[in-house]
Structure 1
Amino acid sequence: MSQLNQFNQPIGDALPDWRPRAHPQRLVLEGTYCRLEPLAVRHADSLFAAHQLAQDTRSWTWLLREPDSHVDEFRQWVASVENLNDPIHFAVIDKRTDLPVGSLSLMRIDASNGVMEVGHVHFSPLLSRTPGSTEAQWLLMRYAFDTLGYRRYEWKCNSLNEPSRNAALRLGFQFEGRFRQALVIKGHNRDTDWFSILDSEWPALNTAFCRWLAADNFNTDGKQRKTLEQWRNEKKD
């Protein structure tokens, strides 16, 4: 419960041991199905080729940028972001092929308050709807909460982006609300939906992720035996 000050006003829970957290670094995060590497120009050609496998450009609709028409343009974009401190972009490497198949980033990093957001999520057809796509998200969450000790991890998306909204909920983010007319993107209004995971929620979510990602949760055809939501609900029970 919220504490009260000398005027009997609620002022929130005291955090006497809180200290600003470290800023995330460009480092490699290893998983079973994938690993995350700091995005670099050396990833650009293979990652561009992976995105070219899509039947159309619908995966670009909700991104801030328009699709690159040539690998040189994509290479230039990677070069422009590979040394940024915020966002920090990561390439998702498929460990079976050792090739990049998608990317995502840590962004809006507020180390003083222990808050950051996952964003710029762009997965190619080689990564979407695979265990690696979930593991990539889990690796960044684990880095944020377990390694860096952040208090809050955010997900934001266009309110019309139903796939992103569904993905956030599947991963265990809690919907917090809608910021109306928050942005103008590609000449169109964007209402932004906010989602979050708190450090107090992370241990149970992490257990569900570990159980879902375990080899015995998949049959010989690679199909999941239990969904991530089922593992979360089982933990609650």
Structure 2
Amino acid sequence: MTMLLKGDKVFAKGDKVFAKVRGYSHWPGIIDKVEEGDTHETSKYQILFFGTYDKTTLSEKHICSYEDNKDKYGQPKTDNFKNKNFNKALVEADKYLSPNQDLQDINEENENSTILNNTQNNIGQVVEKVNNYHSREETDLETSLSLAAEVGNALLLENSELKNIINDKSNENRVLNNHISALMEERHVLRQHIHDLKQTKSTYESEIEEKLVYSENKFLDIKGKCSEFEDEIRFLKDKLTR
């Protein structure tokens, strides 16, 4: 087990880890919050666990890197009924790629996948029953009707689950479309603001150019008058010296 030692890199928020809580095996999770202490040994980490979404706070000695210890602690357990949450946690941990990723999205994806898999398994079991029934030499009406009812119920269940998933996805799509519309409206407002700023800039530039031309002409006019005054002064001086 890879432990942090003094001087090693401290785990950061969003890091994927295995954490050990008394009474449980090493469980995958992410660092949800860091409470820094004076030393590594006194630092505390709030862990958000995959699968159950429980939270707890642990010291570094109870935490180890997920990637470095995946082969040791990240193997699915065979008794899925008893270890359903642990196996689910491993799947979610593998799908968690970035600190910006929403665990709720991963959970919903897993739940939809589980529903479809269970429904398909039920249909598979019914199909197997039908095939076994047809392979028999003797058949009876009651069994045929029973199997037909099972097939119908399985297909209805699959259809119902698919409708629920489609409805959920449609709602998600509606929310995303509303968000996109809001962003497009915001983009339009920003573009209009940029256009207005460019127009204002152009107006100011024109005014500045006009004032520069006016100032230049004024300067030349004053310079011309100064030259006339100088000529007149020289003329008067010459007149006085005669």
Report the TM-score range of the alignment, normalised by the length of the smaller protein: under 0.3
Question: Greater helix share, 1 or 2?
Answer: 2
Higher relative CO (Cα under 8 Å, sequence separation at least 6) belongs to 1
TM-score if structure 1 supplies the norm length?
0.22
Structure with greater strand percent: 1
Q: TM-score, normalized by length of structure 2?
A: 0.22
Question: Which structure has the bigger radius of gyration?
Answer: 2
